Amino acid sequence: MIRIANGQGFWGDSLEAPVEQVRRGPIDYLTLDYLAEITMSILQKQRSRDPRAGYARDFVEMIGRVLPDLVERGVRVVANAGGVNPAACRDAVLEIARKQGIEIKVATVAGDDILPRLDDFLARGVELKNMETGEPLSAIRERVQSANVYFGAFPVAEALDRGAQIVITGRVTDTGLALAPMIHEFDWQRDDWDRLAAGTIAGHTVECGAQCTGGNCQVDWETIPNMADIGYPIIEAEPDGTFCITKHAGTGGRVTVASVKEQLLYEMGDPREYITPDCVADFTSIHLERCGPDRVRFSGIRGREATPFYKVSVSYAAGYKAIGGLVYAWPDAYKKARAADRILRERLERIGLKFDAMRTEFVGANACQGIPSAEPSAEVAPELAEVMMRMGVRSNDRAAVERFTKELAPLALNGPPVVTGFGSGRPKVEEIVAYWPALIPKSEVVPEVKLAVNERQ
Amino acid sequence: MNVDVWLFKTFMAKRKLVEIAHARSGDKGDTSNVGIIARRPEYYPILVREVTAERVKEHFKGVCLGEVERFELPNLGALNFLLHEALDGGGTLALKADPQGKTYSSALLRMEIEMENGA
């Protein structure tokens, strides 16, 4: 049995979680997910300004904190912290190890960044059509900011086979980070579909960190103990593909069949067709059972042959947006907020501003869910203590969006009464980076695995 | 009133889905997925019977502008719904307060269903 811990569900997750995972109990592997679709374009911009940038700096700082523990306990780390510059991330880690007088093997998995090759692909008829709309990439080619293939677990497993204690990847699937140690340790083969599916489902369960250990859990949330010290998930994986999800003893949170089921359904499409580069996993084959306090056992998982494609994540500039709001107070807060919306729209029309999209929501009165049955009743609506009129606009014309941001605050003095919330000034104009999902034949891209060792001082 | 209707009215009651299910939702582009899970195994057939794709589409009227697909996971006592065109364009394009549909989980649990009295 091996223990694979997750210490980061997204870039921006707890800075303490990875450290706690290493120090609070036994683990063999620490996996960390830093990359969302949008992250890649931010990192690509950073790299274009500085060739030594373009990776998750939080990761390097974290390694600096725990490196002696990792070495002492023999914990190996797998992280997609490399972003669009895994080599620079590796060099930063090696530099920290050198300063601490620690010898360590660090591997990189790259080759996922296909931005420099896009025109070659298009010229050869690899269209990179949008998976949702069917449009060819040529429609937005000029506006592309990043393009990355999602690799699976096998290149990471290769890096582990070659002895790396830390594996830093570019765009590798979240599930692949956790599956790779199982492939490496148990010598699973590329056509062990059932076991690859089991490892993939284990990875899916822990990929959002504490979201399977009691975080964001709807069942008895008020009784979940010690949320301030919530434990992050650990996979206890067996060579036959069965595994348990648990957390370190003494930590807060709760692992139950219910908490795990919620995470299984998160970001789920067709449950029989969970497609990764490694296999197609069938979520309708999972058998769950409680097997102790804060411990759930998975068995029976089935999988099928992987598809011949990698998924590609392209990001591109898609205009500008700004979102701002004003808060109206009792009495008739909702009515005032609605009036403010009407007045503002009329003023924007008078000055001739046009937008591709415009949307008003009323926070405090059904902004989030938005469905008819969540609307406040005729009795409740006039009594609401406050309602925020929240308006957003989107356009390719930056000047129009900029002008919108200047029309909001005047309403504080020249609109409906009892209003606040303009203190933070005009809303910011944001550049929109949109996401374009596509497929590419696996034969077009090859993962590059490299190993580096620093010299002890 | 025929006997079937009388029996139904006598032994069935309107309940909110939140009493018998919990849920989690997420996003993929402009599509939101809402997974609902029976709080007890005996509630799963009620979910299958009551929470149809058509009813979910009606429940999310004005929010979900595309089709609703339903998938069954009897092994987990769960249903998964895909709500297409439900996120104002999705991701960074959306101007919504909840562009990832994170709150659609409990939005679905507001649905009123018919179930046996005392169940």
**How sure is the predictor about A39, in pLDDT bands with cuts at 50, 70 and 90?**
confident
Instruction: Quote the number of domains for chain B.
Output: 1
For B111, nearest residue in chain A (alpha carbons): A373
On the CB side of A455, CA atoms within 13 Å amount to 1
Q: Is A328 helix (H, G, I), strand (E, B) or coil?
A: strand
Quick one: A299 and A187 in the same domain?
A: yes
Per-residue b/e over B17-36, b at no fewer than 16 CB within 10 Å? bbebbbbbbbbbbbbbbbbb
Q: A393: domain CATH number?
A: 3.30.70.2750
Q: Is the pLDDT score of B119 beyond 70?
A: no
Q: Is the pLDDT score of A456 beyond 60?
A: no
Percent of chain A with pLDDT over 90: 95
Quick one: A271 and A322 in the same domain?
A: no
Q: 3-state DSSP: chain A helix, strand, coil percent, rounded to 5?
A: 35, 25, 40
Range of the domain at B100: 3-116
Distance CA A108, CA A333 (A): 56
Q: Residue B91: list chain A partners with CB under 8 A.
A: 37-38, 434-435
Q: Is the CB of residue A328 less than 8 Å from the CB of residue A389?
A: yes
Residue from the list A258, A261, A269 with its beta carbon closest to the beta carbon of B28: A269
Q: Residue A219: list chain B partners with CB under 8 A.
A: 22, 39
Antiparallel, parallel or unpaired: β A280-282 and A274-275: antiparallel
From residue A73, alpha-carbon distances to A59, A183, A278 in Å are 19, 21, 30
pLDDT tens by residue, A124-166: 999 999 998 899 999 999 999 999 999 999 999 999 999 999 9
End of a domain among A291, A307, A323? A307
Q: Residue A283: list chain B partners with CB under 8 A.
A: 73, 76
pLDDT tens by residue, A82-117: 999 999 999 999 999 999 999 999 999 999 999 999
Q: Residue B55: list chain A partners with CB under 8 A.
A: none
Residue from the list A268, A286, A373 with its beta carbon closest to the beta carbon of B80: A268
How buried is residue A419: exposed, middle or buried, by Cβ count under 10 Å (0-12/13-18/19+)? buried
Cβ–Cβ contact A299 with B under 8 A:
no
DSSP codes of every residue in B35-78: EEEESSGGGHHHHHHH--HHHHHHHTTTT--S-EEEEEEGGGTE
Residue A383 corresponds to which amino acid?
E
Q: Is the pLDDT score of B3 beyond 80?
A: no
Closest approach of B3 to chain A, Cα-based (Å): 32
Quick one: A337 and A223 in the same domain?
A: no
**Is A119 part of a structural domain of the chain?**
no
Quick one: A7 and A41 in the same domain?
A: yes
Q: Count other Cβ atoms within 10 Å, centred on residue A34.
A: 25
Q: Are B96 and A261 within 8 A, CB to CB?
A: no
End of a domain among A307, A332, A362? A307
Quick one: A287 and A351 in the same domain?
A: no
Closest approach of B13 to chain A, Cα-based (Å): 19
- From the list A51, A30, A86, A19, the residue with the least C-alpha distance to A452 is A86
Distance CA A389, CA B4 (A): 49
- From the list B76, B78, B70, B80, the residue with the least C-alpha distance to A300 is B76
Q: Residue A435: list chain B partners with CB under 8 A.
A: 29, 91-92
Residue from the list B62, B89, B96 with its beta carbon closest to the beta carbon of A372: B62
Q: Residue A41: list chain B partners with CB under 8 A.
A: none
Q: Count other Cβ atoms within 10 Å, centred on residue A379.
A: 7
Distance CA A263, CA B78 (A): 12
Instruction: Enter the tokens of residue A408.
Output: 């909001």
Range of the domain at A357: 315-436
Q: Are B107 and A435 within 8 A, CB to CB?
A: no
Closest approach of B50 to chain A, Cα-based (Å): 17
Q: Is the pLDDT score of A429 beyond 50?
A: yes
**Is A122 part of a structural domain of the chain?**
no
**How sure is the predictor about A457, in pLDDT bands with cuts at 50, 70 and 90?**
very low
Q: To the nearest whole number, what is the mean pLDDT of chain A? A: 96
**Is A128 part of a structural domain of the chain?**
no
A369, A373, A396, A429, best to mutate vs chain B, most B CBs in 10 Å: A369
Q: What's CA A142's distance to the chain center, in Å?
A: 26
pLDDT tens by residue, A313-368: 999 999 999 999 999 999 999 999 999 999 999 999 999 999 999 999 999 999 99
Cβ–Cβ contact A132 with B under 8 A:
yes
Q: Is the pLDDT score of B9 beyond 70?
A: no
Instruction: Quote the number of domains for chain A.
Output: 2
Distance CA A24, CA A5 (A): 11
- Angle between helix axes A398-407 and A333-350 (nearest 10 degrees) is 140
Instruction: Enter the tokens of residue A222.
Output: 């008020």
DSSP codes of every residue in A198-258: HHHHHHHHHTTGGGGTTTT--SSGGG-TTGGGBPPPEEEE-TTS-EEEE--TT-BS---HH
**Size of the A and B interface in Cβ pairs below 8 Å:** 136
For B105, nearest residue in chain A (alpha carbons): A369
**How sure is the predictor about A48, in pLDDT bands with cuts at 50, 70 and 90?**
confident
Quick one: pLDDT at residue B11? 74
pLDDT tens by residue, A186-238: 999 999 999 999 999 999 999 999 999 999 999 999 999 999 999 999 999 99
